[in-house]
Amino acid sequence: MSKNNKASNYNEKMLTRLRIQFIVLSMAVVIIMQGFIVYTSVRNTYNKMVAKSDHLVSSIYINILDKKPIKADARYFYITFDKDNRPRTINIDNISDISEDEALAIYYEAYETGELDGFYNGYRYCIYEKEKRTIAVFVLRSNMIDDVKKTAVSLIESSCAGIAVMLLILIFTSKLIVMPIAKAHRKQKEFITSASHELKTPITVIRADADILQMDNPDNEWIEDIKKQAENLTAMTNSLVSLARMDERNGHIKRVVFPVSDLAEEAVRSYNALALDSGKHFTYDITPDLTCCGDASSVRQLFTILLDNAFKYSSGKGNIDFKLSSSGSYIVLIVSNDVDNIDKNLTDRMFDRFYRADSTSAKITGYGLGLSIAKAIVSEHNGSIKAKMDGSQRIIIKAQLHIK
């Protein structure tokens, strides 16, 4: 497959991913808003029905106390009890489809719920217990309850229809909406890739010219500085090329099973001499015979990046720890080191490209790309990486790589 085809496939996948994310986020907002509107509307309708029913129950109760004729446009019954809580009056004149025994049974069933007012079996009721006298008023509200349910169903159906229409609109328009973002992202990647390749030639020429000049002036500090800066530019360009290639691969790497424990052993052994030379205390704990399925060279680069980072940013005679183990279906790598007093918010941006803390950027060489590459490697192996501060003078980076 040609590079153009790979880039085209990558751009299509990125565009599809952006469209899905945009649709999901937009639909989540729409569903939440529609749900709130439906809930508010149904709740208001229900509250109005309850208020109207309670007013009717209360007016019936007052008329009973005042022994006045009851004028209520509703079907109801009421029961009065004597001081011994025995039924004295069971009035079912305004509701013809139940008997006195049925009315009394409804009262007892409602009373057993422990609630003196509420809804029961289609009735809005209230049981008044005052001055050793109990009056229970039941007003039939089943029609109004059904109306509230119908309103709720109607609103839900309308909302679902609206959500479906919105989904269709988003599906057809999302490509146009996210296309400028995808285009800008593609141009950024193309610029990084092109610039990285274009820089290689002039840097190579500068280094070659500096070598020729140094033959005639072997002790010239200016020529030596030119060579050093050219080497730095070469390292930065190589890092940019690595990131660009990882972006193009989009997680599609050749996976083979390799002994990750042996790879880690090789990596840490190469840093023993550096630890002795710099006076740092370097310890490592590697669980033997661990294997991983992925790109061995990338994982070796991950070890190197994290160890380089730990040695560069560790305090004078500080401690550096490297630990490799397994947990479930993941290889777990933890690299920690002592640091000078730095801001805890540093860990939030450590994996951003070209980011370097102001307190260290002037003291230590680098370009802020190493941890970005580490993050990309971990992502290609379906894992995660994060950093945290242990107090204010120790930083811990934990990476997890999927074993298979």
Q: How many domains does the chain have?
A: 2
Q: Is the predicted pLDDT of residue 191 greater than 80, yes or no?
A: no
Cβ atoms of 259 and 291 within 8 Å: the answer is yes
Last residue of a domain, which of 124, 146, 168? 146
Is pLDDT at 162 greater than 70 in this prediction? yes
Query: In angstroms, what CA-CA distances link 10 with 17, 100, 176, 318, 319?
Result: 10, 78, 18, 43, 42
92 touches 79 (CB < 8 A): no
Domain that holds residue 56: 1-146
Band of pLDDT at residue 401, cut at 50, 70 and 90 = very high
Task: Tell me: pLDDT of 37 over 90.
Answer: yes
Residue 313 counted as domain residue: yes
Place of tokens 């800008």: 184
Phi, psi angles (nearest 5°) of residue 398: -120, 125
Q: Let me know whether 9 and 126 are in one domain.
A: yes
Q: Are residues 11 and 137 in the same domain?
A: yes
Q: Are 60 and 139 in contact (CB under 8 A)?
A: yes
pLDDT band at 379 (very low <50, low <70, confident <90, very high): confident
Question: Does the residue 160 lie in any domain?
Answer: no
Which positions ≥6 away from 66 have C-beta within 8 Å? none
Whether residue 259 sits in one domain with residue 142: no
Say if CB 94 and CB 76 are below 8 A apart: yes
189 in any annotated domain: no
Q: Indicate whether 261 and 398 sit together in one domain.
A: yes
- Is the per-residue pLDDT at 296 higher than 80? yes
* CATH number of the domain within which 338 lies: 3.30.565.10
User: pLDDT grade, residue 357 (50/70/90)?
Assistant: low
The answer to whether residue 334 is domain-embedded is yes
- Give domain status of residue 184, yes or no: no
Exposure of 290 in the CB half-sphere (CA atoms within 13 A):
25
Per-residue confidence band for 249, with pLDDT thresholds at 50, 70 and 90:
low
Question: Do 258 and 141 belong together in one domain?
Answer: no
Whether the predicted pLDDT of 197 surpasses 70: no
Q: Is residue 332 part of a domain?
A: yes
Buried-state track 191-215, b at ≥16 Cβ within 10 A, e below 16: ebbeebeebeeebeebbeebeeeee
Q: What is the CA radius of gyration of the chain?
A: 38
- Of 120, 146, 172, the position where a domain reaches its end is 146
How far apart (Å, rounded) are the C-alpha atoms in residues 242 and 50?
68
3-class secondary structure per residue, the chain = CCHHHHHHHHHHHHHHHHHHHHHHHHHHHHHHHHHHHHHHHHHHHHHHHHHHHHHHHHHHHHHHHHCCCCCCCCCEEEEEECCCCCEEEEECCCCCCCCHHHHHHHHHHHHHCCCCEEEECCEEEEEEEECCEEEEEEEECHHHHHHHHHHHHHHHHHHHHHHHHHHHHHHHHHHHHHHHHHHHHHHHHHHHHHHHHHHHHHHHHHHHHHHHHHHHCCCCHHHHHHHHHHHHHHHHHHHHHHHHHHHHHCCCCCCEEEEHHHHHHHHHHCCHHHHHHHCCEEEEEECCCCEEEECHHHHHHHHHHHHHHHHHHCCCCCEEEEEEEEECCEEEEEEEEECCCCCHHHHHCCCCCCCCCHHHHCCCCCCCCHHHHHHHHHHHCCCEEEEEECCCCEEEEEEEEECC
CA gap 107, 113 in Å, rounded: 10
Q: Is residue 176 part of a domain?
A: no
* CA gap 23, 172 in Å, rounded: 10
What is the per-residue pLDDT across 228-237, written as a single tens digit (0 to 9) for each? 887 777 777 7
pLDDT in tens, 309-355: 888 888 878 899 999 999 989 999 999 998 876 666 666 677 776 66
> Domain ends where: 114, 146, 178?
146
What angle is formed at CA 208 by the lines to CA 203 and CA 212, rounded to 5 degrees?
145
Domain-located, residue 87: yes
Measured distance CA(221)–CA(22) in Å, rounded: 56
Tell whether 397 and 278 lie within a shared domain: yes
